[in-house]
Structure 1
């Protein structure tokens, strides 16, 4: 078994764990809302704390990953990210929730950049497209995490018990997988500038990432609550919203490398935006839980290859390392993800969550309209 082969499986495991962590948070959004006694706007601000933490971490992510290497960063940040999710319900006071969410954002974003940097190295050494498949494991982890969250109450697990079990297994798998990762060559000598506000191609790629991540983040943070609050679903059935979204996204990503070899980036981005906007509109317009699940699945399928394509492109921009390119595009993307939850929460507070989720339709539509220009650049 070659080192590249072992590393590719290690990266798949890391993406899977990150997906499980995001799904575990998503499943427990209604739990957090109830335990802390929050309205939609206060809940959105807690999500914003995660986004602020992520953005601050991304400002140094390229330097951190370049200094310590993806293997060390992913192992350390993976364990800390698991610990943050495990503490989600530990101290039911609002400042503690804000602190936990900030730590989740910091550690999750550093883990994300580390494993994407390793993924580009593995893809480079293997000589074939692999990035969509790697990101498919994130979506598969999301589906598995949401499905486990759905059945956990029936197994007699409390919310805290579910958090401890999911994060404990995730931390163990993260540490084990990090040992098989490749040492990524340091490319600091190629850097012309440290990470700052991106310009040119990186900025355009980042804008597309922001549009896609607003829509994707809305599914992570609001889909389960939408099913429970707007469609009257039980907690177990509501968790299927995240599972349907992640399952469809996983399917799209596992087929994504084949699709990327046959479609240009602009065509794929445009089609992705149209499909995501259409799926979200369907789920919002038809007052049926089953149709909502179908709509969420179409959103997942539509968004499935947006981030893999953009991160792969960002890693190849001349004059910067793959870690800095990915971190720059991620930083702009997280600006969108930061703006999304408060905006949706603000609309939900004064109208309804269904009205707030029309933001997804708008952003996915803008992504489709701007795809040709950004990918051409």
Structure 2
């Protein structure tokens, strides 16, 4: 795939892909070792939940700040420095003492992560504009590969007996070096228009519709990621080792599909790609729900990963390309709604599972999937 990219774009594309990989490794490393965090910091379950929530609050706040920042700094500057600082956030969290300090560190992490998320996706859109072809799906595939690499690296660190602080420090050194080296080669996209950016700026009809698509996809991803293992264990009687594969096969299938997502986007267009993907996802949901065999259910989650793979890259690209003069502002507004879906997914699914059972809750995911298929026309580009 790289050989087909015009030479002037190879370096910036590699640079942006490296930052996606850095973020993926960081999150894969973090999520794998979160279970040890409570003990290491001496937190109870409620305190741990509050500390983790502060990161999401920081991300949502950063989405609002990013719109204002876009009028003063180009995305390359934001991307380079936030990507270099971000890997040190887990180190800071593990060095804190008490829930308040940990919460403050997580809030700071969320602020940086939110700014970086907007800059990364804005850079992806700029690459697509410069190259005249989709790139976002492959960039998100690199993110997934990084998350898997970070998870595997954490398993190795646990086996080696590395403490949280030592492990996070070593990862931070490597990722910071990668981010600094790669960030300077990103595209020098100009800042957005230098005009006041208010709280209501950028909330166009297109952003709201595409934000609803992103929120629906994030809701499904969050529900499947958080509850697939529970479903296999509780409803299908799978062994713990098999049930734990639910999330892994979902992410693995999603990442592998994103490698080919840009080609599908070019061949079929964004609207058809989304609608066929939603059909595949619904099929995966039905396979998981209707089959009593845990291994067949596992295959169903893999199909769901394949189906949901292209949604976020396609929708993010549509937001950026339809933004007019301020790509970062549009992506920031869209990302606010997307993050709302991230927050709502596991909690809403949990309520449905408690009320009607996990199987029914999983089957009800066809509703947001149908919404995505129905509103897919919003991703079509003019001209």
TM-score band, normalised by shorter chain: 0.7 to 0.9
Segments of structure 2 that go 5 or more residues without pairing to the other structure are 1-5
Q: What is aligned with 1:320?
A: 325
- How many equivalent pairs are there? 373
Alpha-carbon displacement from aligned partner over 1:328-375 (angstroms, at most 9, x marks no partner): 211111122222344456667x68995797398256434444334544
Q: What is aligned with 2:3?
A: none
Q: 2:253 aligns with which of 248, 259, 278?
A: 248
Distance 1:261 1:158 in 2: 46
Segments of structure 1 that go 5 or more residues without pairing to the other structure are none
1:24 corresponds to 2:56 = no
Deviation at 1:255, TM superposition (A): 0.4
Distance change in 2, residues 1:228/1:158 (3 Å): farther
Instruction: Give the superposed CA RMSD.
Output: 3.7
Under a length normalisation based on structure 2, what TM-score does the superposition of the two structures give? Answer: 0.81
Q: Highest CA radius of gyration, 1 or 2?
A: 2
Alpha-carbon displacement from aligned partner over 1:47-97 (angstroms, at most 9, x marks no partner): 432222111110121332442222221122123321222344444643344
1:233 corresponds to 2:237 = no
Distance 1:147 1:167 in 2: 16
Q: What is aligned with 1:335?
A: 340
Distance 1:238 1:159 in 2: 26
| Bigger RCO of structures 1 and 2 (CA < 8 A, at least 6 apart) | 1
Under a length normalisation based on structure 1, what TM-score does the superposition of the two structures give? Answer: 0.82
- Segment of structure 1 superposing worse, 366-375 or 246-255: 366-375
Distance change in 2, residues 1:214/1:102 (3 Å): farther
Q: 1:365 aligns with which of 363, 369, 375?
A: 369
What pairs up with 1:1-377 in 2 under 5 angstroms? Answer: 2-32=7-37, 38-39=44-45, 45-91=50-96, 93-188=98-193, 196=201, 198-218=203-223, 233=240, 241-279=246-284, 282=287, 290=295, 293-317=298-322, 319-344=324-349, 358=362, 361=365, 364-372=368-376, 374-375=378-379
Distance 1:360 1:77 in 2: 38
Distance change in 2, residues 1:34/1:140 (3 Å): same
